[in-house]
């Protein structure tokens, strides 16, 4: 539950890479089972105000994967905010996860915080892009909003994370995004998925956070593709009324 100084308590789940077949495996991992484990572990410890799904929900671009996510999360009776990753089908995702408690690429205003959800999907090529139109929309929203603090959420990482192969499929226009964000000092943090590893860095007053996958993780700092031995993970984010961001990553045993 939220405390007196906590505005919003968020459970972030990212990159489950689910299949229509719940028994299907990816890189040897039964992704449906690891997602279930991560979700159950998180809900045993947390009582989130919202759930945030930061992309790559489906590996096979099937409607069944999004329907299963809906079945798993709907009983929580809390808002679920979703953004697509490069492995997703945005049209199917929006169709299945855009009604009731589910919100697809919708911003959230809660007390003195604004959460901006960016769509960085740019086909199934791996990398992503915000695009000029969406950057202009973000700039205008940040200019017009009276929110005191802002968290920007997306799938692809906008800054290098020190892994050559992974940075080659990051956000193409990350520099342009940061240029917009730095025009608005109220932006306190950037939050993403995609990198299948934890990342937490402060730069010029901006908290930048990447979150592990609920399936498998990539070895940090390695220039070629390699899987880590770490198990599924998730992130808790607590947004404070004074603009502070308290956050913790939990990773389960493989």
Q: Where are the domains of the chain?
A: 6-251
CA distance 230 to 248: 16
pLDDT in 10s for each residue of the chain, 254 residues: 444 478 999 999 999 999 999 999 999 999 999 999 999 999 999 999 999 999 999 999 999 999 999 999 999 999 999 999 999 999 999 999 999 999 999 999 999 999 999 999 999 999 999 999 999 999 999 999 999 999 999 999 999 999 999 999 999 999 999 999 999 999 999 999 999 999 999 998 899 999 999 999 999 999 999 999 999 999 999 999 999 999 999 999 98
Q: Is 221 left (phi over 0), alpha (psi -120 to 50) or beta?
A: left
Tokens (6 digits) for 205: 């007053």
Q: CATH for 6-251? A: 3.60.21.10
């Amino acid at each position: 539950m939220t405390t007196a100084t906590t505005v919003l308590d968020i459970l972030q789940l990212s990159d489950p890479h689910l299949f229509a077949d719940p028994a299907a495996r990816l890189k040897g991992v039964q992704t449906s089972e690891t997602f279930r484990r991560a979700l159950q572990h998180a809900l045993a410890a947390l009582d989130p105000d919202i759930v945030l799904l930061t992309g790559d929900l489906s590996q096979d671009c099937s409607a069944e994967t999004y329907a299963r996510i809906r079945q798993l999360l709907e009983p929580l009776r809390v808002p679920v905010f979703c953004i697509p990753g490069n492995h997703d089908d945005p049209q199917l995702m929006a169709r299945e996860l855009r009604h009731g408690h589910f919100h697809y690429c919708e911003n959230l205003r809660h007390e003195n915080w604004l959460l901006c959800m960016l769509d960085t999907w740019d086909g199934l090529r791996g990398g992503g892009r915000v695009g000029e139109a969406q950057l202009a929309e973000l700039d205008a929203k940040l200019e017009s909003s009276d929110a005191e603090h802002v968290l920007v959420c997306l799938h692809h990482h906008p800054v290098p994370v020190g892994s050559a192969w992974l940075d080659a499929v990051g956000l193409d226009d990350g520099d342009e995004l940061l240029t917009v964000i730095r025009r608005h000092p109220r932006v306190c943090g950037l939050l993403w998925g995609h990198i299948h590893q934890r990342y937490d860095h402060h730069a010029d007053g901006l908290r930048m956070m990447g979150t592990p996958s609920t399936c498998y993780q990539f070895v940090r700092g390695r220039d070629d593709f390699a899987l880590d031995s770490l198990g599924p993970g998730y992130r808790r984010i607590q947004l404070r009324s004074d603009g502070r961001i308290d956050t913790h990553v939990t990773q389960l045993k493989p």
